[in-house]
Structure 1
Amino acid sequence: MLEGIEFLNKTFFWLLLILPVLILWYVLKHNKQTAELKISTIKGFKITQSWLPKARHLLFVLRLLALALVITALARPRTVDVSTKTKTTRGIDIVIAIDVSASMLAKDLLPNRLEALKQVASDFIKGRPNDRIGIVEYAGESYTKTPITSDKAIVLRALNDIKYNTIIEGGTAIGSGLATSVNRIKDSKAKSKVIILLTDGVNNSGFIDPKIASELAVEYGIKVYTIGIGTNGMALSPIGILPNGNFQYGRQQVEIDEALLKDISDVTGGVYFRATDNRKLAEIYKEINKLEKTDVEEFKYYNYQEMYRPLILLAFGLLLIEFLLRSTLFRSFN
């Protein structure tokens, strides 16, 4: 009942302590004012029952209620309607560059590296409602899966559609993947431009040197976070294709060019991370989420509606009723 109501001067509620004192005073006064007549018998008297003597206590109740309402009115009750409006003051454009080479099907992350990445990247995208995001795929060559957009449904659908295929030339062209990402974001008007580049191998394909691509990122003010994905040591990885078209798996040494990835991130002002399992990969994206914060300004508008006036009017009405009753029905008790 009191939800949405606040009291500006709550200290006035201490005056409610007067009410029990007044009740005690009234009871003691009533006992003293009641006259007693002792007779041996009431035979011969006509007995009539009247409700007025008992009902006259209503006058005191009305006065107490009026006093309680006045005290409550002094506490300044009011309703508060709060409306908020948010304004993004610093947008961030992000391109996620994903290695889709066959080695991303390795099972050192569950169910494999690519599916684990898609799940974590999906949570990351959902947690960036105020930013524009695009996706680039690369293996031996690279292409844009989706340009940077604020429509998260499109980005999530594109991410979910990423699968290993033989259409893209085999290999790992880190330089091409980074260059395509730079090309996608270089003309952005956002105050902050970020590339998250993920790979599980070494640069062994493509026509663009990763260092040249890094210099392009620096020229356009783009920060690159690099992630090396894969356990330390051996991993169950695709080593061939069976006659039925499925991959044949075998244990292979995990090789990641960490020196190159560190150099890319250092030059562009980013950070290099190593994801050795699903938990670590999720932690990395959470860390990037913390490092790249979008500034959101929130405005709150308060609409107050004072509630003391109806209480005062109601108290006045009770006192008026009490006065009329005392002047008419209960006049003989004055």
Structure 2
Amino acid sequence: MFEGIEFLNKEFFWLLLALPLAVLWYILKHKKQTAELKISSLKGFKITNSWLPKLKHLLFVLRLVALALLIMALARPQTVDVSTKTKTTRGIDIVMAIDVSASMLAKDLSPNRLEALKKVAAEFIKGRPNDRIGLVEYAGESYTKTPITSDKAIVIRSLKSIQYNNIIEGGTAIGMGLATSVNRLKDSKATSKVIILLTDGVNNSGFIDPKIASELAVEYDIKTYTIGLGTNGMALSPVRILPNGSFQYGRIQVEIDEELLKEIANVTGGKYFRATDNRKLEEIYDEINKLEKTEIEEFKFYNYEEKYRSLVILAGLLLIIELLLRFTIFRSFV
């Protein structure tokens, strides 16, 4: 009966405590309000069974119920219909620049650096429903894998298809990867533009200096988060390609140009991170996710509908019925 109903003035329910007191008063006073006649014998009197005296208590019940309904009406029952409207401001445009050089097949992350990155990056993309995201691949050269788009399904499919191939020139062109990412974002109208650049090596190829690329990012107000991927020390990495096309692995020293990555991040207003294992990589993307928040405004509209009127009307009807019975059928005071 009261599902979905809220009471605005709940303090009036304390008045319900008066109802048991009224019942007690009625019980104590009832006998005094009834005339008594003491006689020695009922012989000679015609005895009839009437149902009216038994129904006399109904008058008090009607008055009591009416009082309870009035108290509930004072508590002001109402239903609230809440509708919401969400307004998302211009979100963040993000380009993820991913190193796809052969060293990304190193096994210091499980199963290797590239697959570990793809798994974590996919979760990051799923957690940014209001942003546009694009992908850039780079090794010795760079190209756009996916332009910035709000279609996350396309971005995730493209991400899953990323793998090492020998079509791209070998090496690590950090400047090229950064410059291509800047080019994808420079005309963006988003309130915030972000590049997440990941590499596991040093800049050893490409014709664009990373510092020049970072200056371009500053010019277009693009923040860059850089991630150095690889364990400290030695890692099981590809050292040569066998005649059957598979890689021969050997333990080689992990070399990451952390000073360069820190400089790029600092100049552009971003932050540098070092991921030495799978767990650390997940934590880095979680932190970037927290640092780059899209503003969402939620408007709530409340429609209140008062429900006390029906209670007052019902209470009034009960009191009228009680008065009619009192002055017609019963013709007595209670």
State the TM-score, normalized to the length of structure 2: 0.91
1:4 is displaced (CA, Å) by 3.1
Residue of structure 2 equivalent to 1:262? 262
**By how many angstroms is 1:103 displaced?**
1.6
Q: What SS is found at the alignment partner of 2:114? A: helix
Measure the CA separation in 1 of the matches of 2:108 and 2:42: 105
Q: Deviations over 1:180-233 (max 9, x none)?
A: 000000011112111000111111222211111111111111111100011111
Partner of 1:59: 59
What is the letter of the counterpart of residue 266 of structure 2? D
Alignment check: 8 A CA contact 1:92 1:193 kept: yes
Corresponding residue for residue 165 of structure 2: 165
C-alpha distance in 2, partners of 1:287/1:170? 31
Q: Distance in 2 between matches of 1:61 and 1:316?
A: 14
Deviates more, 1:321-330 or 1:214-223: 321-330
Q: Aligned-pair distance for 1:50?
A: 4.6
Structure 1 residues 204 and 333: alpha-carbon distance in aligned structure 2, compared to 1, 3 A threshold:
same
Q: What is the aligned length?
A: 334
DSSP-derived class of the 1:252 partner:
strand
After superposition, give the CA deviation of every residue in 1:139-191 in whole Å (9 maximum; x if it has no partner): 12111111111222222222222222233222211111101000000011112
The aligned counterpart of 1:285 is: 285
Question: Could you tell me how far apart the structure 1 residues matched to 2:44 and 2:102 are?
Answer: 117
Cα distance change on mapping 1:244 and 1:126 into 2, 3 Å: same
Residue matched to 1:93? 93
1:330, CA displacement in angstroms? 3.6
1:280-319 equivalent positions in 2, closer than 5 A: 280-319=280-319
| Partner-residue secondary structure (3-state), 1:285 | helix
Residues 1:231 and 1:50: Cα distance change in structure 2 (over 3 Å): farther
Aligned twin of 1:210: 210
Query: 1:6-36: per-residue Cα shift (whole Å, max 9, x none)?
Result: 2222222221121111111111112444567
Distance 1:231 1:189 in 2: 38
Contact 1:86 1:296 in 2 (8 A): yes
CA distance in 2, matches of 1:27, 1:117: 81
Contact 1:196 1:226 in 2 (8 A): yes
Alignment of 1:178-257 (within 5 A): 178-257=178-257
DSSP-derived class of the 2:322 partner:
helix
Matched letter for residue 70 of structure 1 = L
Rate the CA distance shift 1:52–1:157 in 2: closer, same or farther, 3 A.
farther
Q: Name which of structure 1's ranges 193-202 and 240-249 shifts more when overlaid on structure 2.
A: 240-249
The amino acid across from 1:204 in the alignment is N
Q: Distance in 2 between matches of 1:53 and 1:161?
A: 91
Contact 1:234–1:253 (Cα < 8 Å) also in 2? yes
> What is the aligned partner in structure 1 of residue 125 from structure 2?
125
Code of the aligned partner of 2:184: R
Q: Secondary structure at the match of 1:245?
A: coil
| Residue 77 (structure 2) aligns with | 77
For 2:150 and 2:138, the matched residues in 1 are separated by 22
Task: Classify 1:201/1:320 alpha carbon distance in 2 versus 1 (closer, same or farther; 3 Å).
Answer: same
Larger displacement relative to structure 2 (203-212 or 256-265): 203-212
TM-score (norm 1): 0.91
User: 2:166 is paired with a residue of what secondary structure?
Assistant: coil
Judged with a 3 Å threshold, the aligned counterparts in structure 2 of structure 1 residues 36 and 141 are, in CA distance, closer, same or farther, namely same
Tell me the C-alpha RMSD between the 2 structures: 2.4
Tell whether the 8 Å contact from 1:90 to 1:296 is kept in structure 2 after alignment: no
Partner of 1:156: 156
Q: Percent identity?
A: 82
What amino acid does structure 1 have at the position aligned with 2:273?
F
Match of 2:28 in 1: 28
Letter of the aligned partner of 2:212 in structure 1?
A: I
Q: Which runs of no fewer than 5 residues in structure 1 stay unpaired?
A: none
| Aligned residue type for 2:102 | A
User: SS of 2:189's equivalent?
Assistant: coil
How many angstroms does 1:43 deviate by?
9.1
The residue type paired with residue 210 of structure 1 is: P
Mean alpha-carbon deviation: is it higher for 278-287 or for 83-92? 83-92
Corresponding residue for residue 176 of structure 1? 176
Q: Provide the rounded CA distance (Å) in 2 between the counterparts of 1:103 and 1:116.
A: 13
